[in-house]
Chain A
Amino acid sequence: MSSVATEPTKAPKTSKDWDMAAIAPFIALALLLVLGYFANPNFVSVANILNVITRSAFIAIIALGATYVISSGGLDLSVGSMVAFVASLMILFLNSGTIADPMLLLITGMLLTIALGAACGLANGLITTIGRIEPFIATLGTMGIYRGLTTWLSQGGAITLRDRELQALYRPVYFGSVAGVPVPIVIIFVTAAIAAFVLYRTRYGRHVIAVGSNEDVARYSGISVNKVRTVAYVIQGLCVAVAVLLYVPRLGSTSATTGILWELQAITAVVVGGTALRGGVGRIWGTVCGAFILEIVGNIMLLSNFVSEYLIGAIQGAIIIIAMLVQRSLMRK
């Protein structure tokens, strides 16, 4: 028996570096909080922090779904349009008053919204897997379709939830709180906890990582790559639906511009959170952290007078580039 070359010598990546990559977004978040404090001491007040996190809910929840899609090796550009489309249909259904009892109407509307989100995600999944179209192109197409349908539904104007009683009934879902914590924050963490459990603890989650890490290995190991990818898009659709459930009570109205550029914000949150854009690594809590970072940066800019708030898009763009550079330097070691 020879022991030639059995010892792992120079490893390209050691487990320590991976840990570093996982921690980095949380360090960045902590640094931002400190920076925020110096910019404006009001920033770290409980009220302000809760407020900021609440506002990050839409992107955070959508980005949780995007974490699945991206770590399975896909991409979904359609989520912003999907929010607009699904929310519009939900409001139209609620406005239709098909069910007399408002509570029953609301619950039916919410369930339909969930089903519709899943269906939109399924469409994306089937087009990319069965249709064998690059995710970028496929979801660029559905992005146009969902957006166009929204514009058509609204006839270029707005779709507004009309029923006062229904509005009042639905309002607490966004503006209410549980034991002092705003409902959207509760939903972020519940969704993230479920997402983390599924990704890290279940067979499906393991398969997502395997498919994103090396499609061939997954296939040769007996994993149905198409099924895993399609389900990831369905999960993305479900997350969009959950975001819609929070969005409608907040504004009660949609238009052709609802959710514009949200797909880019979601992808930014995912990447800033440490998930690899090429797939194979998924970091649920990193994604949540990434969504917070995006919102906090905006908030700091608003509260401080250093930088014009009109530059927020530029700053978010810079963040994604910096995050990628940091990730790369951590992996190169």
Chain B
Amino acid sequence: MTVAEANAPVPLLEATGLSKTFGIVEVLKDINLTVRPGEVHAIIGENGAGKSTLMKILAGNQPPTRGEIRMDGEVVSFSGPVDAENRGIVLVHQEILLAPDLTVAQNIYLGRELHKGIFIDDRAMNEGAARAIGDLGGDIDPNAIVSRLSIAQRQIVQIARVLLVPHRIVIFDEPTASLTPHETEALLKVIKDIRAKGVGVLYISHRLPEVKEIADRVTVLRDGRLVASHLASELEPADMARLMVGRDVAKLYPDRHAGQARETVLQVEHLNVPGYAQDASFELRKGEILGFAGLVGAGRTELMEGLVGLRPSRGSVRLNGQPVDFRDVHTSLKAGIAYLSEDRKGKGLLLTKDLRVNLTLSSLGKFVGALQIDRKRESEALDQAIQDFDIRTGRKDILAGQLSGGNQQKLLLAKMMMLDPSIVIIDEPTRGIDIGNKEQIYKFIARLAEEGRSIIVVSSEMPELIGICDRILVMRSGRIVGEVTGEHMNENEIVQLATGVKTGEAA
């Protein structure tokens, strides 16, 4: 471990009691955090634990609702990200934010171009860019167009651009999410170099072995609270996983009697969704609820979209023993597979149309008489759906966009159930939904399974998967890396598979 110890002189940055509320939702509560020179401080936590919000506050993108930030002992408040940058805090974003049609050097110097008189000094910028990239151990032509670079190379350009600003604290927001192990290794070396220069580093990552390797101190967030802060030397990756997830779950999930193994209805073999999922094989049995766990970006959504024909895919899919090849949703819906997108507002419902139009959109064929749509039957179907799925709405003629998130999800569920599918794939069934509606949705899912339908639930919320699923498959980097069942269905096990601490038995 480096010099950074608890008795180090003045912290570069010290945050106390940071809290952030959006509306009535408290996403961060009383966070205390220090960044010392020459120290790598890792922040870990599940999706939605508040890591990103914390980083946004520290980088001046958002003001905290409460709490204060001190730099060199003085209270500061950032007017914006530029202000934070001027004070030496720079942020390496998780997403690549570069102009794809400009060159590497033009991107690195974008907004702070070097001039010679009134002309742009391309030579000086190319030299500067080459030096900055060389410092990072990269080898990229400063004249290369960014759109031709690999994701990893772009990441390096992005880091070079950030490090060009005089900095005292660098925040890395999941920088290795899109990197190969080799590239990750190179990046970690860069971070160690930065640390050696006395810069403070805040490092956010899901990958716990990597955190163990690089961090001097680890802070764990859970549900917006700081649950632990330890020296990295005192924690093993398994401890970190336990700290990330250890929470008590209320009685939120319906009782399910584990049925006996029934016949396989869906058999997927070696399914590839180019760019997102590789060689996925799994089976789904009648009346089963199968969970798909994994970190954001693990390829779960894309795998499902490939399966139902929303994305190009290759591989073998058998439905009730018959080989099928879905080219679009129309054919997969017809075959009895319904997919509910995680993006309810963008891909699930027409927000500017009323409930009736939304409910029948996928199943209009059932409502067409000789030529025209039977609006009366549509209205009756809406009444029935409102009753069956307990959609809470004052009036029936409001627009779908006026429903609350939970009721939108119920409407979407009702819409996709109009065609009476035998397989229902639900992506993030309770994202952005309050606890009461969550409980109802879980009940609906359990009911659908009891009716003999087979359900796939894709979720980033592990307690939810554990609470309702019979079996859980874990994906990492586009591959199914393991399966957990029975008493092994706990968050610890899933996190270890999802983060790569442990490799599963399934290939």
Contact = CB atoms under 8 A, between A and B. Distances in A.
A203 B362 contact: no
Contacts of A201: 371-373
Interface of A: 1-8, 11-13, 15, 197, 201-203, 206-207, 209-210, 213-214, 216-224, 280
B396 to A, nearest CB: 11
A20 to B, nearest CB: 15
A13 B343 CA distance: 21
A280 B372 contact: no
Contacts of B437: 2
A13 B352 contact: yes
Given A201-B371, A206-B357, A222-B329, A4 B349 contact: no
B407 A6 contact: yes
Contacts of A224: 328, 330
A98 to B, nearest CB: 37
Contacts of B180: none
Contacts of B351: 214
A217 B436 contact: no
Interface in B51-72: none
Interface string B293-312: 00000000000000000100
Contact of A6 (B330, B333, B364, B406): B406
Interface in B334-369: 334, 339, 341, 343, 346-354, 357, 361-362, 364-365, 368
Interface stretch (B136-144, B248-256, B397-405): B397-405
Nearest to B332: A222
Nearest to A219: B329
Given A2-B434, A5-B406, A206-B361, 18 more contacts: A1-B390, A2-B436, A3-B392, A6-B393, A7-B392, A8-B393, A8-B404, A15-B398, A15-B399, A202-B371, A213-B352, A214-B347, A218-B361, A219-B328, A219-B347, A220-B341, A222-B334, A224-B328
Nearest to A220: B347
Given A201-B373, A203-B368, A1 B436 contact: yes
Contacts of B407: 6
B353 A209 contact: yes
B388 to A, nearest CB: 15
A223 B99 CA distance: 35
Nearest first, the 4 closest Cβ-Cβ pairs linking A and B are A2-B436, A6-B392, A8-B402, A201-B372
B121 to A, nearest CB: 38
B394 interface: yes
B310 A11 contact: no
A222 B350 contact: no
6 contacts: A4-B404, A6-B404, A214-B346, A220-B310, A221-B329, A222-B328
Given A6-B404, A12-B401, A202 B328 contact: no
Given A11-B398, A214-B350, A221 B328 contact: no
B440 interface: yes
Interface in B401-444: 401-407, 415, 434-437, 439-440
A187 to B, nearest CB: 22
Contacts of A3: 392, 436
B399 A220 contact: no
Nearest to B391: A6
A193 to B, nearest CB: 13
A283 to B, nearest CB: 14
B328 A217 contact: no
A123 B434 CA distance: 49
B399 A13 contact: yes
B403 A206 contact: no
Nearest to B401: A12
Contacts of B403: 8
Contacts of A214: 346-347, 350-351
B353 A213 contact: yes
Contacts of A221: 329, 361-362, 415
Contacts of A11: 398-399, 401-402
Contacts of A6: 392-393, 404, 406-407
A5 to B, nearest CB: 4
A223 B333 CA distance: 10
A202 to B, nearest CB: 6
Contacts of A8: 393-394, 398, 402-404
A1 B440 CA distance: 8
Given A1-B436, A11-B402, A213-B353, A203 B365 contact: yes
A113 B439 CA distance: 61
Nearest to B360: A206
B444 to A, nearest CB: 13
Contacts of B346: 214, 216-217
A217 B330 contact: no
Contacts of A210: 350, 353, 357, 361
Contacts of A12: 401
B141 to A, nearest CB: 32
Contacts of B415: 221
Contacts of A207: 364
A224 B364 CA distance: 13
Contacts of A2: 434-437
A202 B368 contact: yes
B348 A222 contact: no
A201 B373 CA distance: 6
A290 B432 CA distance: 43
A1 to B, nearest CB: 5
Contacts of A280: 350, 352
Contacts of B393: 6, 8
Contact of A203 (B333, B341, B373, B435): B373
Nearest to A203: B364
A219 B390 CA distance: 27
Nearest to B338: A222
A207 to B, nearest CB: 8
A8 B346 CA distance: 19
Contacts of A218: 361
B350 A7 contact: no
Interface string B161-198: 00000000000000000000000000000000000000
Contacts of B406: 5-6
A94 to B, nearest CB: 34
A206 B332 CA distance: 21
A222 B330 contact: yes
A4 B436 contact: yes
Contacts of A223: 330, 361
B56 to A, nearest CB: 24
A206 B359 CA distance: 12
A206 B372 CA distance: 10
Contacts of A13: 352, 399
